[in-house]
Amino acid sequence: MSFRETVKNLRIAKKVTLRQFCQEHGYDPSNWSKIERGINPPPKDEETLTRWAKALGLKPKTEVWKNFMLEAEVSRGNIPREVMNDPALLEKLPAFFRTVRGSEVGGRELDNLIEKIRKAHTPDED
């Protein structure tokens, strides 16, 4: 799911219109609409993203919160910080991009690849 879809779905889940949401939280409806339609990119500063996440009802440090922040970075065309801060994962990025670029990787195949990467970088729970 993209950042714009996530933002829109979270707002709709709160059962409020775009205008109601913006009025409650002091946002400009025109600009918020552009975010939900993918015309404007997510903000770069974490402070604004944090305010948005809270306004959308997300709880800090939850998986939904982390995905929200991750989708914002990816939607801006950035490699997520957690990847950039992991030397072992960072070292594997060129091979990952070559692999993805060089072949038709379908949705299921990509999901399997992502799961393998996650398992490789998640400490074993004994």
What pLDDT is recorded for position 52?
97
- How many Å apart are CA 60 and CA 1, to the nearest integer? 20
The counts of H helices and E strands in the chain are 8, 0
Cβ atoms of residues 71 and 6 within 8 Å: yes
Sign, CA torsion 91/77/42/112:
negative
pTM of structure:
0.70
Neighbouring C-alpha atoms within 13 Å toward the C-beta of 16: 16
- How many Å apart are CA 19 and CA 77, to the nearest integer? 28
What pLDDT is recorded for position 83?
81
pLDDT (tens digit per residue) in 56-104: 999 999 999 999 999 999 898 888 887 888 888 888 788 777 777 776 6
pLDDT (tens digit per residue) in 10-67: 999 999 999 999 999 999 999 999 999 999 999 989 999 999 999 999 999 999 999 9
Query: Domains of the chain by range and CATH?
Result: 3-78 (1.10.260.40), 82-120 (no CATH)
Residue predicted with more confidence, 92 or 109: 92
- How many Å apart are CA 66 and CA 20, to the nearest integer? 26
